[in-house]
A and B are shown apart, each in its own frame.
Chain A
């Protein structure tokens, strides 16, 4: 029995894949994930803000392969709504009229990477039928499309905030570690102060004090910079530690003895040693900030309607009626989980490969 338990426990990722393979797989999966999100307009059948007021809280549309007579169809199809009576809230379209699924259809215009405009969508069905892969929300908007578009905002927020944090962290940590003394004291006590501030309330206050005509992108940037600002302390402390030990290494001391300047030493010898810590921190921070965006939006501090973000998609779950009646509103939450798993797997593999500080 004991032997079996040990076998099971030992049978982890590491036994099947080497760390390098694990990293490669994680990066491939991440790229695929990010690719789909980046091309959200193409993969999403609808515009994220398009409301279908006849179909609030529609369940995921059933895709059929077998027609009424029991004949297998080459082209999968969905059923459209009945013309006569409005569909009750939370019910699916249920007429007998089939609408075949079509590939590369023209639909609502969207932008790729904010530059090119296109109207081609990977798939779609003709009106009045609707194709809600993940159901619709309370305004009759397609959850799947909103999930993809929302990913753009959430991932971008995570990336920018992580870059911001790590940059501030490297600057503050590097200077504090390298110069030491009172500079170190001031920077590190400042970092502690940042850790101790009640950020959530500060954010509420900031939001209330802002002018009203601030656009959603301004709110977004504000959100991101605030998240980045809050998070600089941890990478800064880690980097300070690495720099502290790195500047005492023999080759650094030797270079200093030969008359190298501070800037040269930092750039050439000290900071390169922090590279592994930085990379690991970065991979850890991105999902953390995505999660932070989810939390902040959940509390009403994120980008406003009708812009989707992963946090915005989860806010409706605050309501008991949604929670207890419409199971498909949980789907975005479920889909976010693999994203985090892959990201953490990448961070884990990176850390193992470089044998850096434990997570």
Chain B
């Protein structure tokens, strides 16, 4: 009893202390300001966090940023209306404090938070929201978000209801509508509108602008950019989130992004304590760092399978007009399901996990990784490697073997093809080498061709001048809608045969139908069963032969508090406003 009272007193004291703290540090909550309270243990204010980026950000303009370093920085500077909580993978209120959906599922009305201010002190209102969406949906701006904001092929429309409410109208019901808003940064109309009207939006917010011209709704604001060295962000004194004790966030005074060009260099900087947080590094480096974990004052986390899936696929494009007779000849193998099944059966997925990822990866047989617990279909068959079964399949498909073991097709041609990989990804090249060795045991002669990434993408999506390729895709979100472009036969990223006018095979037609249906189905269980069927088709008809999903590996200095990494991008820094240093 006595202890209980004591703790209550302590709590009161703590609240009082922290209130005075927030008065001293930033701006007190003004009348009518609706701050968002966050979970997570209250931390210490002050200090700085140092993080390495692989390259310099190209821009700070959210509509134009395509590269990961730019997005990493922009995420700290801006905020969205509805946010996907990286911890729970579910949506949560952000700048919109609540929302309602019309009965037909086509109208979303969002109530905005009152009293929120941009990092330059200007107030935020519905006008900023309508302005932002006008920019993102503008053809001339050509933003990367535009495609995401097309529902049923039509752009969503935004209507201002009043100063603190906006209504979004969709052309058709859209299952993942709430998730659309994630990472769509709200732009300050007062700073950007005149430039936008003058047609100069593309030049806005380059890195070379003075920090004062930038304002966002994120936890930090731009302080300094030193070309070739670093970007420094400082705490946004007007930020609209608070911890559960009511202290205004963020805790950190400064975030420093250093430009460190290679993964190995990043690992060394982290190991020596120059940087505080590390993500996107290989299992080999994980093992190296692990050895000194206790001595050097950092800790590492293996979060298990992420959303990245690596796969092998064959060229199944219609090559009649392309003048590639040699590849067209080989397509008789590639288009034979038994050939693809034999390849899948012969590949040693466990070996890949062991040799390429030192065990820090999971073998997969379809596109949904074990990390995506909401959508994983547990019923998918996961057959072990079997060269015998592969041989039987090939034999049934009319293949035969020469006395020296070389595989011949029904016409008597030797089975020989090349696999493209990206030369910048050492892991994928290593996977390809293992696949090469596995298939050589079936008598196939396989060449691994590492190409510069853009040269490879050009062959895959433009010239179709390739035989097979090994690639990886990372979903930006756990929801299947983020994969529409991959699975629809008309999709740009329908890698084995993109941009089809009508589905080339019955199973592609079925995937099209299922994907379209799940898109407009609002009930999760129904959607799940639809997407399960897509996974089954992928596992059975093998348009892509899924191989492994690497684990998400992160590390942080022990002094970083509230560090709760997640399997969605940005793995380590998604709750940067709550991170603190001891």
Nearest A residue (CB) for B267: A320
In the complex, A189→B423 CA distance in Å? Answer: 37
* Bound: A305/B438 CA distance, A: 13
B150 to chain A, nearest CB (A): 35
Once the chains bind, are A212 and B288 in contact (CB under 8 Å)?
no
Contact, CB under 8 Å: B447 / A213: yes
CA distance A300 to B452 in the complex (A): 11
Q: Judge whether A138 is part of the interface by a CB distance below 8 angstroms.
A: yes
Kindly state the separation between the CA atoms of A215 and B430 in the bound complex, as whole angstroms. Answer: 19
**CB contact between B355 and one of A56, A216, A300, A304 (< 8 Å): that residue:** A56
A253 an interface residue at 8 Å Cβ cutoff?
Answer: no
Give a binary string over B338-366; 1 marks a CB under 8 Å from any A CB, 0 the rest. Answer: 00000000001001001100110000000
Contacts of A305 in B (CB 8 A): 429, 433, 436, 448
Find out whether the CB atom of B448 lies under 8 angstroms from the CB atom of A304: yes
List A residues 241-300 near B (Cβ within 8 Å). 300
Q: How far is the CA of A358 from the CA of B4 in the complex (A)?
A: 92
Contact A213 B430 (CB under 8 A): no
* B288 touches which of A53, A204, A208, A325 (Cβ 8 Å): A325
Say whether, besides A213-B447, A305-B436, A321 and B418 are in contact (CB < 8 Å): no
- Given B284, B326, B448, B455, which contacts A322 in the complex, CB threshold below 8 Å? B284
Given A89-B358, A305-B436; A53-B447 close (CB under 8 Å): no
User: Contacts A306-B437, A321-B288 given: A213-B451 contact, CB under 8 Å?
Assistant: no
Contact of B354 among A53, A212, A321 (CB under 8 A): A53
B401 at the interface (CB under 8 A from A): no
Query: Which of B288, B326, B417, B448 touches A320 (beta carbons < 8 Å)?
Result: B288
Also in contact, A212 and B434, with CB within 8 A (given A89-B358, A304-B447, A304-B449)? no
Contacts of B348 in A (CB 8 A): 53
Q: State whether the Cβ of A86 lies closer than 8 Å to any Cβ in chain B.
A: yes
- The answer to whether the Cβ of B287 comes within 8 Å of any Cβ in the partner chain is yes
Give residues 418-450 of B contacting A (CB, 8 Å): 418, 420, 423, 426, 429-430, 433-434, 436-437, 440, 447-450
| A139 to chain B: closest residue by CB | B355
A321 touching B284, Cβ below 8 Å = yes
Q: A138-B430, A213-B467 are in contact. Are A306 and B358 (CB under 8 A)?
A: no
Cα–Cα distance between A140 and B348 once the two chains are bound (Å) = 14
Question: Contacts of A86 on B, CB cut-off 8 Å?
Answer: 354
Q: Are B418 and A213 in contact (CB under 8 A)?
A: yes
Question: Which chain A positions have C-beta within 8 A of B455?
Answer: 208
A58 to chain B, nearest CB (A): 12
- Cβ A300 vs Cβ B288 within 8 A: no
Give A102-119 interface residues, CB cut-off 8 Å to B.
none
Tell whether A36 is near chain B: CB-to-CB under 8 Å: no
Given A139-B434, A140-B355, A300-B423, the answer on whether A321 and B285 have CB atoms closer than 8 Å is yes
Per-position contact with B for A106-150: 1 when CB-CB < 8 Å, else 0? 000000000000000000000000000000001110000000000
For B264, the chain A residues whose CB sits under 8 A away are 319-321
Binary interface profile of A, 180-206, with partner B (CB < 8 Å = 1, else 0)?
Answer: 000000000000000000000000100
In the assembled complex, B416 has its CB within 8 A of some CB on chain A = yes
What number of B residues sit within 8 Å (CB to CB) of A? 38
A156 in the interface (beta carbon within 8 A): no
For the complex formed, measure the closest distance between the CB of B312 and the CB atoms of chain A, giving whole angstroms: 15
Residue numbers in B under 8 Å from A216 (CB-CB): 447
| Chain A residues whose C-beta falls within 8 Å of the C-beta of B467 in the assembled complex | 212-213
Check B99 for interface membership: any CB of A closer than 8 A.
no
A residues 310-359 touching B (CB-CB < 8 Å)? 319-322, 324-325
Are A212 and B282 interface neighbours, CB within 8 A?
no
With A304-B447, A305-B448 as contacts: A89 and B285 at CB distance below 8 Å: no
Indicate if A167 sits at the interface (CB-CB under 8 A).
Answer: no
B465 within 8 A of A: yes
Decide yes or no whether B15 CB sits under 8 A from chain A: no
Complexed CA–CA distance, A138 and B283 (Å): 13
Shortest C-beta distance, A342 to chain B (Å), equals: 33
Which chain A positions have C-beta within 8 A of B164? none
- Quick check: is A226 within 8 A (CB to CB) of the other chain? no
Docked pose: A324 CA to B358 CA in angstroms: 16
A interface footprint on B278-302 (CB within 8 Å = 1, 0 otherwise): 0000101101100000000000000
B196 at the interface (CB under 8 A from A): no
Task: Report whether B437 and A49 are in contact in the complex, using a CB–CB cutoff of 8 Å.
Answer: yes
CA distance A304 to B433 in the complex (A): 10
In the complex, A51 has a CB within 8 A of chain B: yes
Query: Do the beta carbons of B355 and A53 come within 8 Å of each other?
Result: yes
How far, in Å, is A337 (CB) from chain B's closest CB? 25
Report B461-495 CB contacts with A as 1/0, cut-off 8 Å.
00001110000000000000000000000000000
**Interfacial chain B residues near A324, Cβ < 8 Å:** 288
One of B429, B440, B449 near A212 (C-beta < 8 A): B449
Are A213's CB and B326's CB within 8 A? yes
Contact residues in B for A49 (Cβ distance below 8 Å): 437, 440
- The answer to whether A306 touches B287 (Cβ under 8 A) is no
Q: Is B504 an interface residue (CB 8 A)?
A: no
Q: Considering the chains assembled together, what is the distance between the CA atoms of A279 and B290 in angstroms?
A: 54
B285 contacts A212, CB within 8 Å?
no
What residues of chain B lie closer than 8 Å to A215, measured between beta carbons? 447
Q: Check if B268 is an interface residue, CB within 8 A of chain A.
A: yes
A322 to B267, CA, bound (A): 13
Cβ–Cβ < 8 Å partners of B358 in chain A: 89
Distance in angstroms from B508 CB to nearest chain A CB is 26
- A89 and B285 CA atoms in complex are apart in Å by 13
Q: B287 to A212, Cβ gap below 8 A?
A: no
Task: Write 20 A-B pairs (CB below 8 A) sorted by A numbering.
Answer: A53-B354, A56-B355, A89-B359, A138-B430, A139-B433, A140-B355, A204-B452, A212-B420, A212-B449, A212-B465, A212-B466, A213-B416, A300-B450, A306-B436, A319-B264, A319-B284, A320-B264, A321-B284, A321-B288, A325-B288
The 6 closest A-B pairs by CB, nearest first: A321-B284, A320-B264, A53-B351, A305-B433, A212-B418, A321-B288
Residues of B at the A interface (CB closer than 8 Å) are: 264, 267-268, 282, 284-285, 287-288, 326, 348, 351, 354-355, 358-359, 416-418, 420, 423, 426, 429-430, 433-434, 436-437, 440, 447-452, 455, 465-467
- What residues make up the interface of A, taking CB atoms closer than 8 Å to B? 49, 51, 53, 56, 86, 89, 138-140, 204, 208, 212-213, 215-216, 300, 304-306, 319-322, 324-325
